[in-house]
């Protein structure tokens, strides 16, 4: 009876751990230790197999979470372009193929909504462990210690890069317009987009535009 009670508490601990910090189990060593602990716990409840089912579901959810994060990272790497001379690329394109943002989407509300979808997609991939990694790294810097096991916080970097990309996009779209009237119209358009972002509650895109 004591073993079953203890096993239930361990299962609850492992369940919360794997759900909140799945990246802790990324390497083979930690995954092996998790399986060994799970195997020992299942021996406490071999009669009805309830514990085995819970652990099996927990392991499956963990593997799915790790797989999803790995796929997200692969996709992000594909979209990361090498540094090139973008000025040369723009010069090689004809004026007709260089579309401005107004020709793609002239409604500030629709553009604000699309920006919000991107923001939500970026935020949904930020986990508590990403923030904990930053805190841990800052503590090590304060103590003048060098940590070699600091995991790169890819999701936070992606979110930060998106903010910078949006800021550069707004600046580029405004500056590439030659005529003053068209440039004024472009500035007013982005002011309207920022206002719609504010109304939606998308303050990150609003600040990037500003």
Q: Domain limits of the chain?
A: 1-72, 99-136+150-207
Tokens 């979110």: give the residue.
159
Q: How many CB atoms lie within 10 A of CB 191?
A: 13
Tell me whether residue 193 is exposed, middle or buried, using C-beta atoms within 10 angstroms of its C-beta: 0 to 12, 13 to 18, 19 or more. buried
Mean pLDDT by 10 residues, the chain (210 residues): 79 88 84 87 71 86 83 68 55 62 90 94 80 69 49 72 92 91 93 96 95
CB 167 within 8 A of CB 209: yes
Dihedral pair phi/psi, residue 170, rounded to 5°: -60, -45
Tokens linked to 105? 């989407």
CA distance 96 to 114: 25
What's residue 82's pLDDT? 58
Q: Which CATH number describes the domain made up of 99-136+150-207?
A: 1.10.840.10
pTM: 0.60
Read off the pLDDT of residues 46-77 as tens digits, 9 standing for 90 and up.
Answer: 666 777 888 888 888 888 888 877 777 776 66
Kindly report the CA angle at 127 between 65 and 63, in degrees rounded to 5? Answer: 10
Tell me whether residue 105 is exposed, middle or buried, using C-beta atoms within 10 angstroms of its C-beta: 0 to 12, 13 to 18, 19 or more. middle
């Amino acid at each position: 009876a004591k073993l079953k009670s203890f096993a239930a508490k361990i299962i609850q601990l492992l369940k919360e751990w794997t759900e909140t910090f799945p990246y802790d189990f990324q390497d083979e060593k930690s995954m092996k230790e998790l399986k060994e602990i799970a195997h020992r716990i299942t021996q406490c409840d071999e009669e009805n197999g309830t514990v085995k089912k819970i652990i099996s579901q927990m392991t499956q959810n963990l593997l799915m979470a790790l797989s999803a994060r790995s796929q997200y990272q692969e996709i992000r790497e594909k979209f990361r372009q090498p540094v090139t001379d973008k000025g040369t690329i723009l010069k090689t394109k004809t004026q007709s193929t260089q579309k401005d943002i107004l020709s793609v989407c002239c409604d500030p509300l629709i553009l604000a909504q699309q920006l919000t979808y991107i923001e939500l997609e970026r935020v949904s991939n930020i986990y508590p462990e990403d923030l904990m990694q930053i805190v841990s790294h800052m503590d090590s810097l304060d103590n003048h210690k060098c940590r070699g096991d600091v995991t790169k916080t890819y999701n936070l970097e992606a979110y930060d890069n998106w903010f910078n990309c949006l800021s550069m996009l707004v600046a580029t779209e405004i500056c590439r317009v030659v005529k003053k009237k068209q440039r004024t119209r472009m500035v007013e358009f982005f002011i309207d987009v920022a206002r719609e972002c504010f109304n939606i509650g998308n303050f990150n895109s609003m600040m990037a535009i500003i």
